[in-house]
Amino acid sequence: MTAISFGIIVGFIGWFLVRYILLSFYTVDQNERAVKTIFGRAERLPIAANSEDPFVEYLRPDERERYKYPQLRVIPPGGPYFKWPWERIYKVSIATQTMNMALDLEQPQANHGGSILEAVTKDQLNVGLKGQIRYRVSEQHLYAYLFGVKTPVVHVMGYFISILRERIANFEAPAQLAGSAASQPMDASAVSGVSINDLRKNLRDLNEHMDRECLSSPARYGIILDASLITEIDAPTDVESAMAAINTAHNHVSSDISLAQASADQKIVQSKRAVEIETLKAQAEVEPLLALAEQLHVLKERGPEVLKSYLRNVRLKLFRQANQVVLEVDQ
């Protein structure tokens, strides 16, 4: 064997040891999870482990069979682990990430450079939406994330935007309670019935609706939408100025109604107070008369002479207090 052949053999052995032995050790970070495939097939858990998926109930009946993915054996954080040359490791970060809801990962220039998402309201207004969404990879649905769809983040963003635009197009403000509507002045947006006003007033309800509608995203794409935060809704400039004028007029009306109600409430309170004062005065005047009548009744029960003596004493007291006395003389 020549020196060249010996060197080739030694080099091959060294390359093999480095490539398939030393580099076969790997670790998994704390915010990562890993999945191993053997000859291209991921390690799976028994079928029974997939029977209690809490996110399947949010799918429609016709979708449950379509998105029925197997559960994979997940490699937890730690290491070092070892893999054979015919095995491959897929690492996935499960940390929560934030992204602009208007960002299009396939076409970054779309939606005004990923800054404003456009939608049409029920009254044909083209509004611009600004906000963010928080999402993370579901550890229980790594098959859907890694092997179910090609680009899961793009799919889940498209799913979110389609639901959001449908909600914007059909959004109606919740009906006010009869009691609260009767006791409070009507708001400007409720009077005008402009959908963008309803949307701006009910941003919290809109965000909560989006969170509920996206509960099936882990079973579909392996991504959990933690929260959606729509922060701003912009209308066209001409519509914005018209609505500002409408809102200003209704604010004046609401202010006048509030002042009138406050004045009426104040007069009602004053009237009730005056009635209470007069009632107390009448009671104060009646109390001595009632006490005197009760006392005379007691004296009468003790005998007619007692009542006459009482009347004589009262008369004498009145004579002493009077400056002049007019007596009637029988003729």
pLDDT at position 73 over 70: yes
Segment 294-307 shows an average pLDDT of 77
> For residue 330, what pLDDT band results from cuts at 50, 70 and 90?
low
Q: In whole angstroms, give the CA distance from residue 111 to residue 214.
A: 22
pLDDT tens-digit map of 131-170: 888 999 998 889 999 998 888 899 888 889 998 888 888 8
Predicted local confidence at residue 86, as pLDDT:
85
- Checking if the pLDDT of 28 tops 50, the result is yes
Distance between start and end Cα atoms, the chain: 176
pLDDT at 302: 77
What is this structure's pTM? 0.62
pLDDT greater than 70 at residue 178:
no
Confidence class for position 188, pLDDT limits 50, 70, 90? very low
Q: How large is the average pLDDT for residues 212-223?
A: 88
Q: Cα 316 to the chain's mean position, in Å? A: 84
Residue range 254-261: mean pLDDT, rounded: 88
Most confident of 33-42, 77-86, 111-120, 182-191: 33-42
Structure confidence at residue 35 as a pLDDT band (50, 70, 90): very high
* Chain centre distance of CA 284: 57
Mean pLDDT for the chain overall: 80
**Least reliable range by pLDDT among 50-59, 68-77, 220-229, 285-294:** 50-59
Provide the pLDDT confidence category of residue 242 given band limits of 50, 70 and 90: low
> Looking at residue 239, what is its pLDDT?
63
Which CATH superfamily includes the segment(s) 3-175+184-235?
Band 7 domain (3.30.479.30)
Beta partners for residue 37, in sequence order: 42, 88
Please tell me the distance from the alpha carbon of residue 271 to that of residue 276, in angstroms, as a whole number. Answer: 9
**CA distances (Å), 284 to each of 183, 271, 275, 289, in order?**
37, 20, 14, 10
Distance, in Å, from the CA atom of 13 to the CA atom of 122, rounded to the nearest integer, reads 71
pLDDT at 18: 67
State residue 240's pLDDT score.
62
Measured between alpha carbons, how far is 10 from 5 in angstroms, rounded to an integer? 9
Residue 177's pLDDT band, with cuts at 50, 70 and 90, is very low
Domain ranges of the chain: 3-175+184-235, 245-318
Note the pLDDT of residue 202: 82
Per-residue pLDDT at 187: 46
CA R_g for the chain? 43
